[in-house]
């Protein structure tokens, strides 16, 4: 008879092989089995190396992160790039230069070890901005996105980044479908030529100016991406009045509610992000430079990215349902 751990290993193998998009799973698992699975499943270039296997050595828990959808990936990339580009623009405008051994860098979906001395585990954000010097590489901004993911799960990640990794702030991106996606019960049988023709028709239909944005994306009688019941950005920092506890300061910005765009009143300086939060030495060179607001958010552009990513995700789901 199989042990409980062997049963869990079978479940993990099934999840890895299925790689259903935008999911995270946690299982209690020994370090020995984690090492064996890492060797067994060497992730190649397929699906950008997903699923990713992360491990918590103290709790002995494995986390399986499956391939992200376009909504997940495109929005986090857009926020990361917008911040980076705006910082560069402000520094050029104000003629601010970093020191010879200082760099501000961005990275996408890195696997990061968090070791506090009391805990040791791996995390994989959707994006990160870090300040690098000769002595250290300090994470300043972390991007965490979730599609139909529990808010508490996202907030728990933010807490870990801020408390355990001493990150300045975390930007949470949450996108909730009205109903979680369900594939058609029967596979769709099409030739390659027919499938490609249907994809063209699907894109034309969904990108038509008359198609209501952020509503359910339906094609051939099936919903491939449901209405966005809620989408928001939340900027999370450690509360300045926390006095040693783990209190967080949160600022929430609603993007979509019940399929309706609510972003028009969101200002560009979302989260009141200041230059000194990214480049702590900036005020050493120019007085007051650290207080410059990074006004990176363009609501119109970002909402278009969300909408097109929804369509891209719907098309990918359609392709996945075709034989």
| Residue 218: φ, ψ to 5° | -110, 140
Looking at the fold, whether 86 and 106 belong to one and the same domain comes out as yes
What's the burial of 183, exposed, middle or buried (CB within 10 Å: 0-12/13-18/19+)? middle
Looking at the fold, whether 120 and 251 belong to one and the same domain comes out as yes
Q: How confident is the model over 11-16, as a mean pLDDT?
A: 94
Looking at the fold, whether 258 and 147 belong to one and the same domain comes out as yes
Q: How confident is the model over 102-108, as a mean pLDDT?
A: 93
Cα radius of gyration (the chain): 22
The neighbouring-strand residues paired with 254 are 232
> Do the domain assignments include residue 201?
no
Q: What pLDDT, on the 0 to 100 scale, is given for residue 287?
A: 74
Q: What pLDDT, on the 0 to 100 scale, is given for residue 284?
A: 62
Give residue-wise pLDDT tens across range 144-167.
999 999 999 999 999 999 999 989
Query: Which strand (E) or helix (H) includes residue 144?
Result: strand 137-147
Looking at the fold, whether 140 and 289 belong to one and the same domain comes out as yes
Per the structure, how many domains does the chain have? 2
Looking at the fold, whether 79 and 27 belong to one and the same domain comes out as no
Percent of the chain beyond pLDDT 90? 82
Looking at the fold, whether 286 and 173 belong to one and the same domain comes out as yes
CA distance 319 to 314: 9
DSSP assignment of 270-317: GGG-BHHHH-TTHHHHSTTGGG-B-----HHHHHHHHHHHHHHHHHHH
> Of residues 8 and 244, which shows the higher confidence score?
8
Give residue-wise pLDDT tens across range 274-292.
999 999 887 666 777 889 9
What distance lies between CA 267 and its chain's CA centroid? 22
Among 23, 44, 65, identify where a domain stops.
Answer: 65
Neighbour-count burial for 197-208, b at 16+ CB within 10 Å, e otherwise: ebbeebeeebee
> Do the domain assignments include residue 92?
yes
> Of residues 284 and 176, which shows the higher confidence score?
176
Looking at the fold, whether 161 and 242 belong to one and the same domain comes out as yes
> Do the domain assignments include residue 206?
no
Looking at the fold, whether 156 and 268 belong to one and the same domain comes out as yes
Is residue 159 within 8 A of residue 140, CB to CB? The reply is no
CA distance 113 to 55: 9
**Among the listed residues 287, 260, 263, the one whose alpha carbon sits nearest the alpha carbon of residue 276:** 287
Give residue-wise pLDDT tens across range 22-38.
999 999 999 999 999 99
Pairing status of strand 228-238 against strand 169-177: antiparallel
| All residues at 6 or more sequence positions from 128 whose CB lies less than 8 Å from its CB, including other chains | 80, 106, 107, 110, 112, 139, 141, 142, 143
Among 65, 92, 108, identify where a domain stops.
Answer: 65
CA distance 59 to 292: 42
> Do the domain assignments include residue 184?
no
Looking at the fold, whether 39 and 115 belong to one and the same domain comes out as no
* pTM for the structure as a whole: 0.91
CA distance 123 to 119: 12
| 46, pLDDT greater than 60 | no
168 φ/ψ sector (left φ>0, alpha ψ -120 to 50, else beta): alpha
Looking at the fold, whether 153 and 230 belong to one and the same domain comes out as yes
Neighbour-count burial for 76-93, b at 16+ CB within 10 Å, e otherwise: bbbbbebbbebbeebbee
Looking at the fold, whether 54 and 74 belong to one and the same domain comes out as no
Largest Cα span, the chain: 70
Q: Rounded to whole angstroms, what are the CA distances from 276 to 55, 83, 89? A: 33, 13, 15
Is residue 127 within 8 A of residue 170, CB to CB? The reply is no
134: containing domain: 70-179+225-320
Neighbour-count burial for 213-246, b at 16+ CB within 10 Å, e otherwise: bbbbbbbeebbbbbbbbbbbbbbbbbeeeeeeee
Q: What pLDDT, on the 0 to 100 scale, is given for residue 129?
A: 96
Looking at the fold, whether 145 and 16 belong to one and the same domain comes out as no
């Amino acid at each position: 008879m199989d042990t409980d751990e062997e049963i869990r290993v079978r479940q993990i193998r099934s999840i890895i092989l299925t790689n259903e998009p935008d999911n995270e799973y946690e299982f209690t698992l020994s370090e020995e089995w984690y090492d064996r699975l890492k060797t067994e499943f060497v992730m190649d270039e397929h699906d950008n190396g997903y699923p990713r296997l992360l491990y918590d050595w103290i709790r002995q828990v494995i986390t399986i992160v499956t391939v992200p959808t376009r909504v997940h990936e495109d929005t986090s990339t857009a926020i990361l790039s917008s911040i980076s580009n705006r910082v560069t623009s402000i520094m050029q405008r104000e003629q601010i230069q970093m020191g010879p051994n200082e760099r501000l860098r961005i990275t996408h979906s890195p696997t990061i070890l968090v070791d506090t001395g009391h805990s040791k585990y791996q995390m994989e954000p959707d994006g990160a901005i870090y300040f690098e010097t000769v002595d250290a590489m300090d994470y300043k901004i972390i991007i965490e996105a979730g599609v139909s993911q529990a808010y508490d799960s996202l907030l728990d990640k933010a807490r870990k980044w801020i408390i355990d990794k001493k990150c300045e702030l975390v930007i949470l991106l949450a996108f909730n479908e009205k109903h979680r996606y369900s594939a058609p019960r029967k596979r769709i049988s099409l030739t390659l030529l027919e499938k490609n023709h249907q994809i063209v028709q699907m894109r034309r239909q969904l990108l038509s100016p008359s198609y209501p944005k952020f509503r359910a994306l339906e094609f051939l009688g099936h919903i491939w991406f449901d209405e966005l019941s809620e989408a928001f950005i939340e900027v999370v920092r450690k509360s300045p009045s926390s006095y040693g506890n783990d209190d967080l300061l949160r600022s929430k910005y609603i993007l979509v509610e019940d399929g309706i765009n609510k972003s028009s009143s969101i200002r560009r300086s979302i989260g009141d992000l200041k230059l000194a939060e990214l480049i702590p030495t900036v005020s050493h060179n120019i007085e007051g430079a650290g207080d410059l607001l990074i006004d990176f958010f363009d609501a119109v552009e970002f909402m278009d990215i969300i909408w097109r990513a929804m369509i891209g995700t719907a098309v990918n789901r359609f392709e996945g349902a075709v034989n």
